[in-house]
């Protein structure tokens, strides 16, 4: 990844669509250009994995680090026990052991995106360190006196919840005090003067900035990234199974790659700006190619490859690409590793195979690719049936152990693109 000139950093982030709200921009520009500053972004362990929304924050942190600034990634071992108020309903509180386990998993994920060595190494912290020893009296006397109820009640999530039938608990209402204290503690301990986060966190970020001004008499900065939307204005980033998780066990690298590959032409250039480190020239060239030859989907392929490599690594990306090619007869299925092959076929029509008994006709019919044995026979006779990418000319062709691919699956196809998968009993 190419380093970003410090003086061009704000312009670069603005062009990429990574800045939504900020405090005094002139002051922030000066702070970024006068020398390395220390900044932080927080990640609460409210699930066992980060998702694509967190990826925007990690990419913002990486841009800032490449420009020479010092990143601190905060995992909210304390705030994760409380829960940031949602717009709709109260969060279900998790037990301490679960939150601690999720915090460890998030830390491992975050470490892949930042450089923890070199001239401006990243640092990992957990806010449980300074929040756990905080007594109720300390919370009320040392922190609570700096917050005004009117300001706290006016925050969007709080205001909406107060108008709802469920209301809001004091537990979630107090979250904004704890997050503000994080900024204060990091300012005192590490000299942090910039907090970044998603735009839904604007009120909490400003709360920390105001707390530092009241307690320390110093001005610091906050900056948010926008909610990523599609060209039609709808929220970006949902699959059929839910969130786009960064954990390969929760959302396979194959599914991850396919998600980005399926981006619409109208959205792909903006997503290249936000989610990749491709240069302006590279992105503009892909934009031109998309307009002139949309069928090649060059921009989508560049996006899928770049983001999958960023999240899962180059080796895993090559495996996914090999699986995508092999599924439709342009590669050797036996060279695809079993885990990737299983992930690649998870959404295909499927059936079971009894080795030595099930034949190609049964596979076509039982999977629903054909309506009956007669239709299946006609498909075989016309040369339209394939087993593991090899044309089947014998309608009685029985499936044997030699046909089983890595991952314990057998792939069959009707025509060029109608795929099915069989698993052994």
Binding residue numbers for ATP: 238
What's the CA gap between 420 and 351, in Å, rounded?
Answer: 8
Closest CA to 259 of 242, 278, 234, 280: 242
Q: Which residues are known binding-site members for L-tyrosine?
A: 40, 175, 179
Q: Across 44-99, where does the E strand assignment appear?
A: 70-75
What are the structure tokens assigned to 385, written together?
A: 């049936």
What's the CA gap between 188 and 211, in Å, rounded?
Answer: 12
What is the separation, in whole angstroms, between the first and last Cα of the chain? 47
Question: Contact, 261 vs 268, CB < 8 A?
Answer: no
- Which position has the token pair 């000066």? 30
What's the CA gap between 55 and 39, in Å, rounded?
Answer: 17
Task: Please report how the helices 265-275 and 52-66 are oriented relative to each other, as an axis angle in degrees rounded to 10.
Answer: 50
Beta bridge partners of 243: 238
Q: Which pairs from 312-315 meet CB under 8 Å and 24+ separation?
A: 312/248, 312/253, 312/256
Tell me the torsion sign for CA atoms 386, 391, 397, 400.
negative
Q: Across 209-342, where does the E strand assignment appear?
A: 221-225, 238-239, 242-243
Question: Contact, 402 vs 412, CB < 8 A?
Answer: no
Q: Which residues are known binding-site members?
A: 40, 175, 179, 238
- Which position has the token pair 């000299």? 191
What are the structure tokens assigned to 115, written together?
A: 């450089």
What's the CA gap between 397 and 399, in Å, rounded?
Answer: 7
What's the CA gap between 371 and 360, in Å, rounded?
Answer: 14
Neighbouring C-beta atoms of residue 238, cutoff 10 Å: 12
What's the CA gap between 120 and 127, in Å, rounded?
Answer: 22
């Amino acid at each position: 990844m190419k380093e970003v000139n410090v003086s061009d950093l704000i312009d670069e982030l603005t062009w990429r669509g990574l800045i939504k709200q900020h405090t005094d921009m002139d002051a922030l520009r000066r702070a970024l250009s006068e020398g390395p500053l220390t900044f932080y972004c927080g990640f609460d362990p409210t699930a066992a994995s980060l998702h694509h929304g967190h990826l925007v924050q990690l990419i913002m942190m990486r841009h800032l680090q490449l420009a020479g600034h010092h990143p601190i990634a905060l995992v909210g071992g304390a705030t994760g026990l409380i829960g940031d108020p949602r717009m709709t309903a109260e969060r279900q509180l998790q037990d301490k052991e679960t939150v601690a386990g999720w915090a460890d998993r998030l830390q491992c994920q975050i470490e892949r995106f930042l450089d923890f060595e070199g001239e401006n190494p990243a640092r990992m912290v957990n806010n449980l360190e300074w929040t756990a020893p905080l007594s109720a009296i300390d919370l009320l006397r040392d922190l609570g006196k700096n917050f005004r109820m009117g300001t706290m009640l006016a925050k969007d999530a709080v205001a909406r919840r107060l108008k709802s039938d469920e209301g809001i608990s004091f537990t979630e209402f107090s979250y904004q005090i704890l997050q503000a204290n994080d900024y204060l503690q990091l300012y005192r301990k590490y000299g942090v003067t910039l907090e970044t986060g998603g735009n839904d966190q604007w009120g909490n970020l400003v709360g920390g900035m105001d707390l530092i001004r009241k307690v320390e008499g110093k001005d610091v900065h906050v900056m948010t990234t926008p909610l990523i939307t599609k060209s039609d204005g709808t929220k970006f980033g949902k699959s059929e199974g839910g969130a786009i998780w960064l954990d390969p066990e929760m959302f396979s690298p194959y599914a991850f790659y396919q998600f980005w590959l399926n981006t619409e032409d109208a959205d792909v250039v903006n997503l290249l700006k936000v989610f990749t480190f491709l240069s302006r020239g590279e992105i503009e060239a892909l934009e031109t190619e998309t307009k002139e030859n949309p069928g090649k989907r060059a921009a989508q392929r560049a996006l899928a490859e770049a983001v999958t490599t960023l999240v899962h690594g180059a080796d895993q990306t090559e495996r996914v690409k090999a699986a995508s090619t092999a599924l439709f007869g342009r590669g050797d299925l036996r060279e695809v590793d079993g885990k990737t092959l299983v992930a690649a076929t998870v959404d295909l029509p499927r059936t079971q195979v009894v080795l030595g008994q099930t034949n190609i006709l049964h596979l076509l019919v039982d999977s629903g690719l054909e309506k009956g044995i007669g239709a299946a026979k006609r498909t075989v006779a016309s040369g339209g049936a394939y087993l593991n990418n090899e044309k089947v000319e014998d309608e009685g062709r029985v499936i044997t152990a030699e046909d089983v691919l890595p991952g314990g699956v057998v792939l069959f196809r009707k025509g060029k693109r109608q795929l099915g998968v069989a698993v052994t009993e």
